[in-house]
């Protein structure tokens, strides 16, 4: 299974993919494995396993608090790799989402090697732009990992082109200018950023930041190939544990299925 | 005796404040802001457009006579540049007889070197058509300077400050609020400067369209390390001429404190091509390196990416940022500017820790020998100069960047030296209460004369 396979499988069902984020080690290492497995049971197509980090500048209060809790509980990078290994063994498809310094410190090539051998499919890097990614480009290629870079509403066309060219698996479009956190409405710029990316890439485009309900998921899935949900799952885990997470995944998964095939999506190969 | 070429100086003598940005230093990063392997941009893509816009605006401004003239005028008439060079003969007696010369950045308007950079960036903010400024602050010196420039130029101003720092530098919180800035106490992480920067970055990602992040040190993503450095190069350019004029020769060593490293890079830069001049940065050694409670990033840290740049940082084996500690809020930071990382690696500058106790001893000594109350940050440089002077002996000349004044630190110092007696402790408690009231006062309460009486007495 690759990230491309995950999106192809969804496209074959005439729908977008549901991508669910939770930080590894939250609330404990074992607990996070349970929660991630519950995401899959609820209907998530791809898991985003977060590496808790001390200085998460792209995250709002919900994910900050979860990361802080995971770190206080002593979560290490090797624990994150074991979480990836366990959820992958249980049948999930997982990428890691991480700020770059933990990867640098681990050793860029060593991290790619160990993540690949744990069954991880790729890495989302919110504070690494392709301009600074030479070592990561080499390591991810060497170990067969997808590299998922971000584009933003403020990205110029030139940067959309270069970022898409450096990406594989899917292209991550942040739907708003801002940090992570559930919001009541889907930003009006979200369809625009996806539409601006389409001419420059045949990669699937995932949209993140702010989605928390089935209706919002359906709205995003009407124009994007993947709906990325994070903070809302953390809140669901806090309030309802495993059942809460599974129920929210089911609601969002239903929304994605209801939307049908995303407008403008590349044809499945 | 002058070693600088035409155009450097005012007709009436002295270095133009704008010279540091109008000319290239000969020690430039590559086009993407890399100093060797350090620097660059480790940022969310969402910020790249704003960083590119800032880079372009800065490049344009540095060759625009109107911009340079405005900066010169403000630094002369408002900041009070050039700042003087003061001989410290009685302090020298405690430094093995070496001659100690103090570059008096503490005499600048707002009380520190920070204004050099702030006025430049505030003028750029206006040029970019942005109306809102955000900034982080540790000791409050950068926050006060930013609030001041925003008041002067009519910009909205929001300052992020770690909650721990709002307590230990309550006077500066009140100053910022008096100047019309909104001060946001940051309650995440270690609640100090590192977390204030995180929160400012989050604000910037969200509001980047109309907002400029007026970063206060030579860290952060390109172009900040090079641009902030250039705005501070005036410190070294002025003092190099002043030392030459005063002593007829170059100093043997230049001493500066290093948190993020802005005042140090500002004074070091004019001497980079003088191989006989030792450049020594003094980092916060806190309770002592061996205790693990310190902020000595270059002494004890390792390379990594934090707050937008590759540099040295204090981190654990998983790349999680370690909490720093220093009695000095302005130095209490687990990162450092990327150019310092390069200067360390190539051996052009050296970095040594100074403990809280050494810094406070130097603080007291400067107060009593020369009648100058330094910022506790700058007291680290003074302590370093005492060390260097003892190594050099009576023939030595040490130039010290006295980067800020210590009014803000009087409370901390009085406690450290036990100057507050039992009968005064009750008053102290009340003083703290006053400071905290000032701290919690909303902007609107300052508009109410009745509500602000006690705050004003600060």
Name the residue facing A129 among B43, B318, B319 (closest C-beta).
Answer: B43
Name the residue facing B320 among A71, A156, A174 (closest C-beta).
Answer: A71
Predicted confidence at residue B5, as pLDDT, reads 37
Q: Is residue B238 part of a domain?
A: yes
Of A160-164, A176-180, B169-173, B361-365, give the lowest mean pLDDT range. A176-180
Q: Please, what is the angle between helix B449-457 and helix B422-440, to 10°? A: 130
Handedness of CA B19, B20, B21, B27 (dihedral sign): positive
Which segments of chain B have a pLDDT < 70?
1-13, 421-458
DSSP string, A26-95: SS-HHHHHHHHHHHHHHT-SEEEEE---S--TT--HHHHHHHHHHHHTT--HHHHHHHHHHHHHTT--EE
Nearest by Cα to A56 from A126, A112, A115 = A126
Q: Supply the range of the domain harboring residue B390.
A: 85-110+225-411
Give me the mean pLDDT over the A27-37 stretch. 98
Predicted confidence at residue A173, as pLDDT, reads 96
As a whole number of angstroms, the distance between CA B285 and CA B293 comes to 8
Nearest by Cα to A166 from A195, A207, A208, A123 = A123
Predicted confidence at residue A268, as pLDDT, reads 55
Q: Is residue B351 part of a domain?
A: yes
Give me the mean pLDDT over the A31-36 stretch. 98
Domain extent listing, chain A: 3-149+211-258
List, in order, residues 6 or more apart from A27 with CB less than 8 Å away: A69, A70, A73, A237
**Cβ–Cβ gap A149/B45 under 8 Å:** yes
Q: Residue B181 is encoded by which pair of tokens?
A: 């800035």
Predicted confidence at residue B456, as pLDDT, reads 32
Q: Is residue B317 part of a domain?
A: yes
Q: Which residues of chain B from 311 to 330 reach within 8 Å of chain A, CB to CB? A: 313, 315, 317-321
For chain A, the C-alpha Rg in angstroms (whole number) is: 17
Name the residue facing A177 among B41, B208, B304 (closest C-beta).
Answer: B208
Predicted confidence at residue A178, as pLDDT, reads 80
Q: Tokens 């290093």 correspond to what residue?
A: B258
Q: Tokens 């002996």 correspond to what residue?
A: B393
Q: Report pTM.
A: 0.93
Residues of A in contact with B303 (CB under 8 A): 104
**Surface-to-core class of residue A10, CB atoms within 10 Å of its CB (0-12 exposed, 13-18 middle, 19+ buried):** buried
**Cβ–Cβ gap B318/A76 under 8 Å:** yes
Predicted confidence at residue A216, as pLDDT, reads 93
Predicted confidence at residue A116, as pLDDT, reads 98
Predicted confidence at residue A158, as pLDDT, reads 97
Give me the mean pLDDT over the A17-44 stretch. 98
Q: Is residue B21 part of a domain?
A: no
Angle at alpha carbon of residue B265, lines to B298 and B237, rounded to 5° = 155
Q: Tokens 């946001």 correspond to what residue?
A: B184
Q: Is residue B173 part of a domain?
A: no
Bond prior to B407 in cis (omega within 30° of 0): no
Q: How far is A178 from chain B (nearest CA, A)?
A: 4
Helix (H, G, I), strand (E, B) or coil at B189: coil
**Is residue B128 less than 8 Å (CB to CB) from chain A?**
no
List, in order, residues 6 or more apart from B100 with CB less than 8 Å away: B87, B88, B91, B92, B385, B389, B398, B400
Q: Residue B242 is encoded by which pair of tokens?
A: 């002043």
Proportion of chain A above pLDDT 70, given as a percent: 98
Q: Are A97 and A48 in contact (CB under 8 A)?
A: yes
Residues of A in contact with B45 (CB under 8 A): 129, 149-152, 154-155, 159, 163, 174
Question: In the predicted model, what is the mean pLDDT of chain A?
Answer: 95
As a whole number of angstroms, the distance between CA B405 and CA B400 comes to 14
Catalytic site positions of A: 48, 59
The torsion of the CA quartet A181, A191, A129, B300, rounded to 10 degrees, works out to: -10
Count Cα atoms within 13 angstroms, Cβ side, for B355: 10
List, in order, residues 6 or more apart from B74 with CB less than 8 Å away: B119, B123
Nearest by Cα to B298 from B351, B246, B358, B262 = B351
SS3 annotation, B39-98: EEEECCHHHHHHHHHHHHHHHHHCCCHHHHHHHHHHHHHHHCCCCCEEECHHHHCCCCCC
List, in order, residues 6 or more apart from B71 with CB less than 8 Å away: B17, B18, B21, B119, B120, B123
**Is residue B194 less than 8 Å (CB to CB) from chain A?**
yes
Handedness of CA A202, A208, A214, A215 (dihedral sign): negative
Q: Cα B124 to chain center, whole Å? A: 19
Predicted confidence at residue B424, as pLDDT, reads 53
pLDDT tens for B390-449 read 999 999 999 999 999 999 999 999 999 998 765 555 444 444 444 444 444 443 333 333
As a whole number of angstroms, the distance between CA B71 and CA B76 comes to 9
Nearest by Cα to B3 from B385, B225, B277, B403 = B277
CATH label of the domain that carries residue B313 = 3.40.50.1100
- From residue A183, give the alpha-carbon distance in Å to each of A54, B79, B393, B405: 24, 45, 66, 46
Domain A3-149+211-258 matching CATH 1.10.10.10: the answer reads: no
Residues of A in contact with B306 (CB under 8 A): 55, 101
- From residue B6, give the alpha-carbon distance in Å to each of A203, B11, B14, B24, B233: 57, 11, 12, 14, 17
Q: How many domains does chain B have?
A: 1
Closest residue in chain A to residue B198, using alpha carbons only: A57
Q: Is residue B74 part of a domain?
A: no
């Amino acid at each position: 299974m690759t990230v491309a396979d995950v999106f192809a499988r969804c496209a074959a069902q005439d729908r977008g993919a549901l991508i669910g984020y939770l930080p590894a080690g939250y609330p404990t290492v074992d607990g996070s494995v349970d929660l991630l497995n519950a995401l899959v049971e609820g209907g998530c197509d791809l898991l985003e396993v977060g590496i808790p980090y001390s200085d998460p500048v792209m995250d709002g209060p919900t994910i900050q608090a979860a990361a802080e809790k995971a770190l206080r509980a002593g979560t290490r990078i090797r624990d994150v790799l074991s979480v990836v290994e366990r959820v992958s063994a249980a049948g999930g498809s997982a990428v890691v989402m991480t700020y770059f310094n933990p990867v640098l410190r681990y050793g860029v090539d060593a991290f790619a090697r160990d993540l690949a051998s744990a069954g991880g499919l790729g890495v989302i890097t919110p504070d690494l732009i392709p301009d600074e990614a030479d070592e990561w480009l080499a390591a991810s290629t060497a170990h067969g990992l997808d590299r998922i870079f971000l584009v933003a509403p403020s990205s110029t066309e030139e940067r959309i082109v270069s970022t898409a060219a450096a990406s594989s698996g899917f292209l991550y479009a942040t739907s708003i200018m801002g940090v992570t956190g559930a919001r009541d409405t889907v930003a009006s710029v979200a369809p625009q950023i996806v539409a601006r990316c389409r001419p420059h890439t045949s990669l699937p485009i995932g949209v993140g930041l702010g989605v928390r309900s089935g209706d919002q998921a359906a709205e995003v899935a009407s124009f994007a190939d993947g709906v990325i949900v994070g903070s809302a799952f953390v809140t669901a885990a806090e309030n309802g544990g495993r059942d809460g997470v599974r129920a929210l995944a089911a609601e969002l998964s239903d929304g994605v299925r209801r939307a049908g095939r995303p407008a403008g999506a590349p044809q499945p190969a | 005796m002058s070693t600088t070429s035409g155009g450097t100086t005012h007709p009436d003598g002295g270095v133009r404040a704008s010279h540091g940005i109008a000319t290239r230093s000969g020690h430039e990063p590559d086009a993407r802001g890399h100093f060797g392997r350090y620097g660059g941009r480790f940022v969310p893509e969402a910020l790249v457009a704003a960083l590119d816009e800032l880079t372009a605006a800065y490049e344009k401004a540095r060759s625009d006579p109107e911009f340079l003239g405005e900066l010169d005028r403000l630094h002369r008439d408002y900041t009070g540049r050039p700042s003087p060079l003061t001989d410290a003969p009685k302090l020298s007696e405690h430094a093995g007889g070496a001659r100690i010369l103090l570059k008096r950045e503490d005499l600048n308007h707002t009380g520190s070197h920070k204004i050099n950079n702030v006025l430049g960036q505030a003028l750029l903010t206006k040029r970019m058509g942005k109306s809102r400024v955000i900034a982080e602050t540790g000791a409050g010196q950068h926050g006060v300077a930013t609030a001041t420039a925003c008041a002067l130029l009519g910009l909205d101003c929001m300052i992020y400050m770690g909650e721990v720092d709002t307590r230990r530098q309550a006077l500066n919180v009140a100053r910022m609020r008096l100047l019309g800035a909104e001060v946001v106490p940051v309650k995440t992480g270690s609640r100090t400067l590192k977390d204030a920067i995180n929160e400012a970055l989050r604000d910037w990602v969200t509001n980047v369209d109309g907002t400029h992040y007026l970063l206060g040190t030579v860290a952060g993503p390109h172009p900040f390390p090079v641009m902030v450095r250039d705005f501070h190069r005036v410190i070294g350019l002025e003092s190099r001429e002043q030392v030459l004029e005063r002593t007829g020769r170059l100093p043997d060593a230049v001493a500066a404190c290093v948190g993020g490293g802005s005042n140090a890079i500002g004074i070091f830069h004019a001497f980079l091509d003088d191989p006989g001049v030792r450049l020594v940065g003094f980092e916060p050694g806190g309770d002592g390196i061996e205790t693990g409670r310190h902020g000595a990033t270059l002494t004890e840290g390792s390379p990594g990416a934090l707050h937008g740049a590759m540099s040295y940082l204090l981190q654990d084996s998983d790349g999680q940022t370690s909490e720093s500690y220093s009695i000095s809020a302005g130095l209490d930071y687990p990162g450092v500017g990327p150019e310092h990382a390069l200067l360390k690696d190539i051996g052009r500058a050296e970095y040594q820790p100074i403990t809280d106790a050494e810094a406070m001893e130097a603080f007291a000594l400067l107060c009593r020998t020369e009648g100058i109350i330094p910022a506790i940050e700058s007291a680290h440089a003074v302590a370093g100069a005492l060390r260097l002077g003892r190594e050099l002996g009576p023939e030595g000349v040490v130039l010290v960047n006295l980067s800020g004044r210590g009014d803000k630190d009087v409370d901390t110092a009085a406690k450290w030296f036990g100057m507050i007696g039992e009968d005064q402790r009750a008053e102290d408690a009340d003083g703290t209460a006053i400071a905290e009231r000032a701290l919690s006062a909303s902007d609107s309460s300052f508009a109410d004369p009745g509500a602000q009486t006690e705050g004003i007495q600060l």
